[in-house]
């Protein structure tokens, strides 16, 4: 029997924009997209970074470190995802009287994810220490004690039993406490899926973001239509206070609708539960006659395809069943400029819809066209990824369920104005901001 790799190995450099920690990134994206081009008209700057910079200045004052008149500071964010653990080492520079900007990022990833050590937490420490050594190499010694160190776990750990997840996080915290970096009591946590935001500037359309990770998927934008606010279900709106004004944001994270979790549901499996008697999971989204194995969340499943037929039609029907009544639809997304990340990017690149390195723009209908072509090809010949028909069909219908029309343009990118788009960037802003508030509550 041929073993099929877990295509969490698709090049997924960024996992998920966790709600509650991405606000800094959203503001930052708006800043670099518009503020630099029209500084006199820009309405928003990087709120999290600006307040974080005040804390950074306090911390740096004892070091007296500047580069060409620019203040420099660092932040370390660990991303504990479902398929791996990643470290982001951020360097920021702040010209006198201006907003800080990201000047450098070092990134390294290790597999498997923390959840793989649920039954042997001691083994998790080695990988964490290896990534900490990367931070030590990148950050000057004099900055270590004032550089915040944080780990945020995404959907992978949320799917573990609570006691196992907490033991893993406690081990990470022990390793962090032994490091030379700035570590708080809240340095290690699992993200809870609330409070994410997007901003706009006067005279320009709102910016929204879509993310498709392994275990969850997120959508965020700033509504401009009162009907959107009125029709939003509980848990889909959050308030953002900024510059003495309050903004209502549409933000929601759907746990269980990330690409890997969706695959399992489409195959007919249940998260965290092996199939009884070792039976195959059979799916109309796999090639007729196909047999193989797939590993997800440390469980290996035997999988197989169904009888011949129109693969795309059968697969679309099955995906529709999985998505039925799971996603809230809003018409306003048609009028918002959306960026899409993670598996949206990876799948589009894998079938040639965008450049694998540079990204690009496409319309939602391009995913459907690609899905139909790949599914039709799989009816008669094998493909390097047995899941490509399933994945493209899932993305197509997920976007339609959100309310995106087929001609809606999406921007798929890993960088905006040479700045890497990562939820970790927003998360470290958020954390530095909280340190600033603790140290200087009057600011």
Task: Identify whether 298 is a catalytic site residue.
Answer: no
Kindly report the length of the chain. 443
CA distance 340 to 9: 19
Asked whether the beta carbons of 79 and 424 are under 8 A apart, the reply is yes
Residue environment code for 65-76, b if the CB has 16+ CB neighbours within 10 A, otherwise e? eeeeebbbbbbb
CA dihedral 28, 419, 366, 319 (to 10 degrees): -70
Helix (H) or strand (E) holding 155: helix 155-158
Query: Which one of the listed residues 71, 122, 130, 196 is annotated catalytic?
Result: 196
Distances (CA, A) of 16 to 22, 53, 174, 329, 391: 10, 25, 25, 20, 17
Q: What share of the chain is helix, strand, coil (3-state, %, to 5)?
A: 40, 25, 35
Instruction: Tell me, rounded to whole angstroms, the distance of Cα 384 from its chain centroid.
Output: 25
CA distance 251 to 19: 7
First to last CA, the chain: 63
- Is 218 known as a binding-site position? yes
Enumerate the β-bridge partners of residue 411.
339, 361
- Rounded to 10°, the helix 259-267/311-323 angle is 110
Question: Where does residue 232 rank: exposed (0-12), middle (13-18), buried (19+ CB within 10 A)?
Answer: middle
- Is 214 known as a binding-site position? yes
Tokens 């409070």, located at residue? 195
- Is 215 known as a binding-site position? yes
Instruction: Tell me, rounded to whole angstroms, the distance of Cα 338 from its chain centroid.
Output: 15
Q: What is the 3-state secondary structure (H, E, C) of 352-366?
A: CCCECCCEEEEEHHH
Which residues carry a binding-site annotation for ATP? 214-218
Q: List residues with catalytic annotation.
A: 196
Which residues carry a binding-site annotation? 214-218
């Amino acid at each position: 029997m041929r073993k099929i790799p877990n295509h969490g190995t698709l090049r997924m450099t960024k996992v998920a924009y966790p709600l509650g920690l991405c606000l800094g990134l959203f503001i930052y994206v708006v800043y670099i997209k518009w503020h630099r081009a029209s500084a006199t008209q820009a309405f928003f700057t990087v709120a999290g970074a600006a307040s974080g910079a005040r804390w950074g200045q306090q911390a740096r004052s004892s070091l007296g470190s500047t580069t060409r008149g620019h203040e420099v500071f660092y932040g370390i964010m660990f991303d504990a995802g479902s398929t791996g653990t990643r470290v982001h080492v951020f360097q920021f520079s702040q010209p006198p009287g201006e907003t800080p900007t990201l000047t450098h990022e070092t990134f390294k990833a290790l597999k498997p994810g923390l959840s793989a050590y649920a039954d042997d937490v001691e083994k998790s420490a080695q990988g964490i220490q290896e990534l900490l050594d990367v931070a030590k190499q990148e950050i000057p010694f004099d900055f270590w004690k004032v550089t915040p160190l944080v780990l945020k776990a995404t959907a992978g750990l949320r799917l573990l039993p609570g006691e196992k997840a907490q033991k893993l996080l406690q081990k990470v915290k022990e390793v962090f406490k032994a490091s030379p970096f700035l570590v708080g009591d809240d340095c290690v946590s699992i993200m809870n899926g609330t409070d994410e935001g997007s901003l706009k500037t006067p005279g320009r359309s709102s910016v929204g973001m879509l993310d498709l990770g392994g275990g969850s998927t997120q959508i965020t934008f700033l509504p401009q239509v009162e009907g959107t606010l009125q029709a939003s279900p509980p848990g889909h709106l959050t308030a953002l206070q900024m510059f003495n004004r309050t903004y209502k944001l549409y933000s929601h994270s759907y746990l269980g609708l990330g690409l890997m979790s969706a695959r399992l549901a489409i195959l007919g499996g249940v998260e965290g539960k092996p199939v009884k008697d070792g039976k195959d999971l059979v799916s109309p989204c796999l090639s007729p006659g196909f047999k193989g194995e797939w590993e997800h969340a440390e469980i290996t499943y035997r999988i197989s395809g169904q009888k011949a037929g129109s693969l795309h039609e059968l697969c679309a029907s099955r995906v529709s069943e999985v998505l039925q009544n799971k996603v809230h639809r809003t018409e306003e997304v048609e009028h918002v400029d959306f960026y899409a990340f993670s598996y949206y990017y990876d799948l589009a690149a894998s079938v040639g819809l965008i450049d694998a390195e540079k990204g690009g723009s496409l319309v939602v209908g391009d995913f459907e066209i690609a899905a139909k072509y790949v599914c039709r090809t799989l009816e008669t010949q094998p493909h390097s990824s047995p899941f490509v028909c399933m994945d493209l069909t899932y993305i197509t219908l997920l976007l339609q369920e959100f309310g995106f029309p087929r001609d809606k343009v999406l921007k798929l990118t890993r960088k905006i104005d040479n700045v890497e788009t990562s939820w970790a960037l927003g998360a470290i802003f958020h954390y530095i901001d909280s340190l600033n508030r603790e140290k200087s509550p009057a600011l």
